[in-house]
Amino acid sequence: MVLDPEIKSQLNQYLGLMEGDVLLKVCAGDDQVSTDMLGLVDAIAGMSSRIKVEKADLPRTPSFSVNRPGEETGIVFAGIPLGHEFTSLVLALLQVSGRAPKVEQDVIDRIKSIQGEYRFETYISLSCHNCPDVVQALNLMSVLNAGISHTMIDGAAFKTEVESNNIMAVPSVFLNGEFFGGGRMTIDEILTKIGMTRDDSELFVKEPYDVLVVGGGPAGASAAIYAARKGIRTGIVADRFGGQVVDTLAIENLIGMKYTEGPKLAASLEEHVKEYNVDIMKLQRAVRLEKRDFIEVELENGAVLKSKTVILSTGARWRNIGVPGEEEFKNKGVAYCPHCDGPLYAGKRVAVVGGGNSGVEAAIDLAGIASHVTVLASSPELKADAVLQDRLYSLPNVTVLVNVQTKEITGMDKVNGISYIERVTGAEKHVELEGVFVQIGLVPNTEWLGDGLERISSGEIVVDKRGATSLPGVFAGGDCTDIPYNQIVISMGSGATAALSAFDYLIRH
């Protein structure tokens, strides 16, 4: 394999940071994937005197493990870790060589204290932008604890294995041979899932804040930074940093940045917030908001945080169709990310529910992978941009159905079709297929607010031009509000507006 000059340049820089020797044990066959993998391994070894290669028998062919000389780390790459997994490979080389990971000491301590044997296996797609978070987290756990091992498995290289395990979404993680979890997971979430939870006792004794931000997406990060810059006591509580941005692949409309990807931007948001004196409380979900002497935000664990002002930036999530079969077949043929899960449907028949930009973009992407794509739109015509519609209608393996109502997603142990009703004729029809991708917009994460402040019928919080809500001292920004457009740059601006307004409120009260 001939490495791209840009990748080779990046590798040269990273390999110069290695602190010790690394041994790559390689198991290859006669197939093309093995040939390409060997080419990658040899190219890497040729770029650093610290890296040695030897042949070995490993459970999967082709694969290679990353070890210290004389010590197995348990890190294995089955397939070729390029694409979105290139960073996973680089980090594995650096961390196995002895370079300290950039994680909190609390996380390191919890990993090292894990007792027992944990054999993790993660099925991934090289086009999945959520998979590297899981792969890197489990690799790090393997480096820090001898009882933990992890194998990354490229689904495209091990199709038979993927089908025999009925894997229809990535990342899919198995622990000791049993399904452990699917979708993006942070290292904190993985540790919590195996019982190594954070000590949350300090949340119950927090002093009141001047500004408390609820939500860690672009609006929340912006609000926290702007508040902290005013020198006031600022806290941010979030289920996860980055919010929906983490699930976004290409970002090309963030002003001043020609191109970035969601997970990278989410990490940058968190790092930027950490530059300021902000009390960060992650993996926490708010369940109640009430105004008393202070404004109180109750968390799922029962802790109550108090603040003089609160900024709500809880964002939004993918909207469900709400039909029979959708919940039952999630990760069994029902998917929401064409970039992540699309490669698992190579040569299969799929449907995309949604006729807006996201739906049509998904259909175009999937048409290059699947044997056939059926687009179902509830409106009389597609709502996507004209240039996207032109591209869609030019594709020979796409059928567009407009003015139809999705009735049911059918299947036994996995999806086998979708039923819909033609609105004009009332006729019910059925399409046989193997996958359904849902792309029908967003729903705000505001249910937990109840009747505490004014919201419109679809759930968005009503705000004025200053980001103020109907409850004095409570402000809001981003996709959880009734601002007309859901864009990252707009969320950042509205978060800043809310923070400046909260500071003005503090001055006046």
Cite the active site residues: 337, 340-341
Nearest in space to 98 (alpha carbons), one of 122, 134, 121, 66: 66
Beta bridge partners of 430: 419
CB 204 within 8 A of CB 228: no
Handedness of CA 365, 369, 371, 376 (dihedral sign): negative
d(CA 451, CA 428): 39
Nearest in space to 191 (alpha carbons), one of 140, 152, 151, 237: 140
Pairing of strands 435-438, 349-353: parallel
What radius of gyration, in Å, describes the C-alpha atoms of the chain?
Answer: 24
Q: How many CB atoms lie within 10 A of CB 103?
A: 14
d(CA 158, CA 60): 9
CB 353 within 8 A of CB 359: yes
Question: Measured in whole angstroms, how far is the alpha carbon of residue 69 from the centre of its chain?
Answer: 34
CB 253 within 8 A of CB 277: no
What's the angle, vertex CA 417, arms to CA 412 and CA 420, rounded to 5? Answer: 125
Question: Measured in whole angstroms, how far is the alpha carbon of residue 244 from the centre of its chain?
Answer: 8
Burial of 500 (0-12, 13-18, 19+ CB in 10 A): middle
CB 307 within 8 A of CB 235: yes
Amino acid at 311: I
Does 263 sit behind a cis peptide bond, omega within 30 degrees of 0 on the bond before it? no
d(CA 355, CA 400): 9
CB 223 within 8 A of CB 310: no
DSSP string, 151-188: EEEETTT-HHHHHHTT--SSSEEEETTEEEEES---HH
